[in-house]
Structure 1
Amino acid sequence: MTKNEIFGYNTAPEYETVVAYFSMEFAVDQSLKIYSGGLGFLSGSHLRSAFELKQNLIGIGMLWKYGYYDQVRNSEGKMLPTFVQKDYSFLTDTGIVFSVPVHDANVQVKAYLLKPETFGSAPLFLLSTDLAENDELSRSITHRLYDPNEATRIAQSIILGIGGGLLLEKLNITPDIYHMNEGHSVPLNFFLYSKFKKLDETKKRVVFTTHTPEIAGNEEHDFDLLKKMSFFYHLQDHEVKFLLGMEGDKFNYTLAALKFSGKANGVSKLHGEVARKMWGGYNGICEITSITNAQNQHYWQDEEIAKCIKTNDLNAFQYRKKEMKSLLFEEVANQTGKIFDENVLTIVWARRFAAYKRADLLMRDWESFMSLMNNASFPIQIIWAGKPYPEDIGANEIFNSIIDKTKEFSNCAVLVGYELELSALLKKGSDVWLNNPRMYREASGTSGMTAAMNGSINLSIPDGWIPEFAVDGENCFIIDPAPDSLSEYDRDVLENKNLMAVLENKVLPAYYQHPEKWMQMIKKAAEDVIPALESTRMAKEYYTKMYDKIDG
């Protein structure tokens, strides 16, 4: 394919550096279900801003036959993951088929193209092994995003990394920079090393973004298994250990990516600090800077709400916000049979569902929660949503326990089907966006950015991107974190009390008794989010900080 066939537009001269952006998931549009959560939301916004800026950037991802999963309900109303085949007539079959060595097989891979004009994104190539030429095991590699089978997960990284490298050769594209968005595509480096023969030559061309702020969350597997799976391309495991100065039986994806890259970044200033502390003791890693994640304004922000905020028109804003709440509450009624009131303060907790994000922190003290829910003077409505990993038993139990505990409350709802469309409804229809993870566990988190773009006030622990934005009481409400010295149990107890205190003493009185102040908070939040935390800034910053010349 020619460059014109791939891009369909002239790239801007200030972005002449050719970048291949590798990510396991991209959330570009609701109809293209190849993402699970924040990593995909981030990469999708990056592609949209790269398109708006006409950057010379190409996405490389995977075409998941069953997506992540479809989140529905079982006969008792509990969450149920289902797997439904997805078909996309809007993707272009490039006709390019090539083989990638995986274990003892040469797996056939086909490349599809999401053209820029389809959804307004930089070109995105998607790889599929679901071909008649492959056996069922090989076909299943691109069936499920983050497949629970270890060997399949490893094979997915091989297809993304090595397959993506091979695809670029087939396209006659030689990127100046290969960007790994998280460590899933780390086999790419072994493919590049086979071409350039020197680690320094590989490092000149590779940059890496890490998203996981704790050692245990960074993927690793046995060297022996990876060798058998052809993860190292043409290298043996002892050669890999020598090349990267790695020891032990486990190969850590993030550590290897840091050793292969010329530059790396965390996804907030705080996460950059955490990442440098995590990995700084290892020899041979690259510099770790930070580029704070961001989200695309044109995709996420409601135009009418934006006008009301800009003109500081309280009446028009309240009218539009009630319209957006009404649309959200139609979905609440449809899913739960509960009728919410557009005049009542509505809090939303919605994001990728994991235990450390503490969706149930509000309920930590049940008596306090009951008092909050039954407050006649300051009524409140709460909505939860999010997708736990299907095999994460603990997270699934928390999700379903919230359904059980709130079933009898007419002012509480738990929604399923948390994807781009529902996420947008929730951000536009909420008054308060609640974020209460355990400190230092949220690398960035971006949902609150798009909530602020739509007139929803952040109520948050000061983790991830929040410290770069927050002015407590002026553009958000901050939940004081507990001292690090306390046990996890005691931190949860104290932070629950702090959350309840902020709600009862600050949030509710401000909403009901001081609407002008509330409007000023909304206005300041929107002004502070855009452009500082809009993805145009982020896409530009990657070119200036990460894609410029890397010294060998």
Structure 2
Amino acid sequence: MAFEFKPYTPAAEFTTQAAYFSMEFALDQALKTYSGGLGFLAGSHMRSAYELKQNLLGIGILWSFGYYDQGRNEDQTMRAEFTQKTYSFLEDTGLVFPITIHDANVYVKALYLAPNTFGTAPMFFLTTDIPENDFISRTISHHLYDADTAARVAQSILLGVGGGKLLDLLNVPVDVYHLNEGHGLPLAFYLYEKHGRQLEEVRKRLVFTTHTPELAGNEEHPMDLLAKMSFFGKVPAEEITRVAGVENDRMNYTLTALRFARLSNGVSKVHGTVANEMWGSNKGICPIIAITNAQNGTYWRDQQLHAALEANDDKALLARKRKLKKQLFDIVADQTGTLLDPEVLTVVWARRFAGYKRADLILRHFERFLSIINNSERPVQVIWAGKPYPKDYGAIGLFNDIIRKVKPLSNCAVLTGYELSLSGYMKRGSDIWLNTPRYPREASGTSGMTAAMNGSVSLSIADGWVPEFARPGENSFIIPHTDPYQPDNVKDDIEATSLLDVLENEIVPLYYDQPDKYLEVVKAAMREVEPEFESHRMATEYYQNLYNAK
């Protein structure tokens, strides 16, 4: 029986047909198609699109080995493991079609994720790991963010051209193509060729979201390499160079997307400003607005905790929070043999492991850290988790250094396997959600949103989404950031001191000496994070401010 694409009937205010292209989606623990925050964000967007009945569909890649599985060596340090994944819940569409990579046909199979499987917009996942391809072509969809440059370029062609061609084969009348980050940039050239090589025709249909002020997150490659890889399809590289305003024979994906899109957005108000500062001086770019990221409450919030909040039942809320802490601590004990106490103030640092996020900032003044956490009357417990990129040996070294440093401590632990499931346990089971990026390098940083939904109060640098939410001492705690133009080691010293000052002088006394006031902060965070930082607001703004904007 031939595959027939029949999504749900969209709501009247969301009838514009949009297609959302993303290299990663975090939809469910069972589906390994994500690495970190970009995937978490995309997953929440797909869930809210379903709940709002938006006329949106998602295009991603089915990674045969996922990102990686984070295991442990004999000494408890992390080990990257790669296991092939299979998914019974994805429907084979029967569609197999060629795209061109390196002037050769590579065959793409499309699999379908139905909306009712995980409560998402209808989604398609592309794979080249099929018998129709040779071994090298099969490996294109093996590993998310493959370390090999040519493989990464091929993955971008798979997402952009493969996704664009699939939609044409399905006869989906797409009004708006949405590139979530620059990874799928070849879509722009596919549309350019499809619409008679008229840039304005592409701009009518293409919008773009930039997620990072990190240079490493804004991919760039030599034009010669991209041309040899068939990145531009049938369009001559010389024409692309002229139309895209390429300089120095290197194409920056973000800058090119800004020139082919009619409208783009940063992912917080701070990031909107930073993105305009980064790119605004370049000729021919589209406007960059701000649409702050958000997370899906249906998926992330603990229902019993929220029921207690809505009923204004403090006793039930505290009892549920204690139980949630115990659930997290059972995982800690299972992984590390460390027994933690649900009555003790518990700080968690957990997110994608990257250097600028400074997982070790709280340890920088180590003797003072020890004196705070080992206070016999008012102790503190600290837990870390996160996945470094498997080839980022500096980040892996930092992860393992933290393990070695805190292994002798009975009130600290480092967990492996930071994926959707563990993330949920850590947000529900923590008291304080620690966020320590170097300002202004965290574009949004949404993990604190879902922590707040579950009674975990942010202790954060005022970067990304945080300045839009934070009322210090009332719904959160802020670590003052110093002059961003100072050397990193100077900033780290000053901000590590500030972090410990806030922890020792504000949070610890409030938690132990004024528990009623501390509980008011918890409840304020839970109430005030929604609806502003729940993804229904975000998904609605994408329609109002990006898809339907003229």
Which SS does the other structure have where 2:125 is aligned?
strand
Cα distance in 2, alignment partners of residues 413 and 352 from structure 1: 17
In the alignment, what sits opposite 2:281? Answer: 281
1:420 aligns with 420
Q: Does 1:331 align with 2:331?
A: yes
1: CA distance between counterparts of 2:437 and 2:24?
A: 23
1:73-113 CA distance string (max 9 Å, x none):
01221100000000000000000010000003200000000
Corresponding residue of 1:409: 409
Q: Partner letter of residue 134 of structure 1?
A: N
Once superposed, which parts of structure 1, at least 4 consecutive aligned residues long, lie more than 6 Å away? 1-4
Residue of structure 2 in register with 1:299 after alignment = 299
How far off its partner does 1:313 sit?
2.2
CA distance in 2, matches of 1:215, 1:156: 20
- Aligned residue for 1:16? 15
Any idea what the Cα deviations from partners look like across 1:155-178, whole Å, max 9, x if unmatched? 000000000000001100121000
State the match for 2:178 in structure 1: 179
Counterpart code for 2:141: T
Q: Partners of 1:249 and 1:75 in 2: how far apart?
A: 47
- What corresponds to 2:455 in structure 1? 455
Query: Do the aligned partners of residues 24 and 6 (structure 1) sit closer, same or farther apart at CA in structure 2, a change above 3 Å counting?
Result: farther
107-116 or 507-516: bigger deviation: 507-516
Alignment pair present for 1:504 and 2:504: yes
1:538 counterpart residue number: 538
1:385 and 1:418 in contact (8 A); partners too: yes
- Alpha-carbon spacing, 1:480–1:224, altered in 2? closer, same or farther (3 Å): same
Question: Aligned residue for 1:362?
Answer: 362
Letter in 1 for 2:278: M
Q: How does 1:463-482 map to 2 (within 5 A)?
A: 463-482=463-482
Give, as a single letter, the amino acid of the residue that structure 2 aligns with 1:82.
Answer: E
Name the amino acid aligned to 2:357: K
1:382-404 CA distance string (max 9 Å, x none): 10000000000110000000000
**Does structure 2 conserve the Cα–Cα contact (< 8 Å) formed by 1:267 and 1:291?**
yes
Q: What is the CA–CA distance in structure 2 between the aligned matches of 1:216 and 1:155, rounded to whole Å?
A: 18
Letter in 2 for 1:65: S
CA gap of 1:291–1:235, structure 2 versus 1, over 3 A, is same
User: Deviation per CA, 1:496-550, whole angstroms, max 9, x where unpaired?
Assistant: 1100000000000111111111111111111211000000000000000000143
Task: List aligned pairs for 1:519-538, cutoff 5 A.
Answer: 519-538=519-538
Structure 2 spans left out of the alignment, 5+ residues: none
Deviation per CA, 1:324-378, whole angstroms, max 9, x where unpaired?
Answer: 0111111000000011111111110000000100000011111111112211121
Shift of 1:216: 4.4
- Whole-angstrom CA distance in 2 between matches of 1:239 and 1:104: 18
**Are the equivalent residues in 2 in contact too, given 1:314–1:516 (CA < 8 A)?**
no
Query: 1:59 Cα shift?
Result: 0.1
> How many Å separate the matches in 1 of 2:135 and 2:481?
50
The answer to whether 1:260 aligns with 2:260 is yes
1:13-412 alignment, distance < 5 Å:
13-196=12-195, 197-412=197-412
Distance in 1, matches of 2:203 and 2:228, equals: 26
**Mean CA deviation greater in 210-219 or 80-89:** 210-219
CA distance in 1, matches of 2:548, 2:236: 32
How much has 1:36 moved relative to structure 2?
Answer: 0.2
* C-alpha deviation, 1:6, in angstroms: 3.7
Report how far residue 143 of structure 1 moved: 0.2
Q: Distance in 1 between matches of 2:282 and 2:357?
A: 29
* In 2, Cα distance between equivalents of 1:100 and 1:51: 30
Kindly provide the amino acid, as one letter, of the partner of residue 29 in structure 1.
D
Measure the CA separation in 1 of the matches of 2:396 and 2:60: 27
**1:9-47: CA deviation from partner (whole Å, max 9, x where unpaired):** 211121110000000000010000100000000000000
The answer to which of 294-303 and 476-485 deviates more is 476-485
The SS at the match of 1:546 is helix
Cα contact 2:2–2:93 (8 A) shared by 1:
no
Task: Spell out, residue by residue over 1:256-296, the C-alpha distance to the aligned partner (whole angstroms, 9 max, x if none).
Answer: 00000000000000000000000011000000000000000
With over 3 angstroms needed to count, the CA separation of the structure-2 counterparts of 1:439 and 1:117, relative to structure 1, is same
Instruction: Indicate the SS of the match to 2:547.
Output: coil
Q: Distance in 1 between matches of 2:484 and 2:66?
A: 38
Counterpart CA distance in 2 for 1:166 and 1:259 is: 22
Q: Answer yes or no: is the 8 Å Cα contact 1:312–1:519 preserved in 2.
A: no
Q: Which amino acid aligns with 1:123?
A: P
Confirm or deny: 8 A CA contact 2:3 2:93 kept in the other structure.
no
The answer to whether the Cα contact below 8 Å between 1:350 and 1:423 also exists between their aligned partners in 2 is yes
Task: Judge conservation of contact 2:265–2:288 (CA < 8 Å) in 1.
Answer: yes
State the 1:484 CA deviation: 2.6
Is the 1:6–1:115 contact (alpha carbons within 8 Å) kept by the matching residues of 2? no
Aligned identity (percent) is 57
Q: Deviations over 1:227-276 (max 9, x none)?
A: 00000111122111111122112110000000000000000000000000
Q: Tell me how far apart the structure 1 counterparts of residues 501 and 310 of structure 2 sit (CA, whole Å).
A: 31
CA distance in 1, matches of 2:366, 2:249: 46
Whole-Å separation in 2 of the counterparts to 1:464 and 1:52: 26
Deviation at 1:430, TM superposition (A): 0.3
Equivalent AA in structure 1 for residue 199 of structure 2: L
Rounded Cα–Cα distance in structure 1 between residues aligned with 2:180 and 2:289 = 14
Give the distance between the partners of 2:86 and 2:497, measured in 1 at CA: 48
Aligned equivalents of 1:446 and 1:311: distance in 2?
Answer: 27
Aligned to 1:29, the other structure's residue is in SS state coil
For residues 469-503 of structure 1, give each alpha carbon's deviation from its aligned partner in whole angstroms, at most 9, with x where no partner exists. Answer: 00000000000111234221111000011000000
Letter in 1 for 2:61: M
CA distance in 2, matches of 1:108, 1:3: 18
RMSD after superposition:
1.2
Cα distance in 1 for residues equivalent to 2:537 and 2:191: 30
Structure 2 contact 156–185 (Cα < 8 Å) conserved: yes
* Partners of 1:364 and 1:493 within 8 A in 2: yes
Structure 1 contact 130–139 (Cα < 8 Å) conserved:
yes
| Paired residue type of 1:256 | T
| More displaced 10-residue stretch of structure 1: 308-317 or 470-479 | 308-317
More off after superposition, 89-98 vs 365-374: 365-374
Q: Distance in 2 between matches of 1:183 and 1:386?
A: 24
TM-superposed CA distance for 1:316, in Å, is 1.2
**Contact 1:390 1:396 (C-alpha < 8 Å) held by counterparts:** yes
Deviates more, 1:208-217 or 1:461-470: 208-217
* TM-score normalised by length of structure 1: 0.98
Instruction: Give the match's secondary structure for 2:459.
Output: strand
Q: How many Å apart are 1:4 and its aligned residue? A: 7.4
How many angstroms apart in 1 are the aligned matches of 2:230 and 2:77?
41
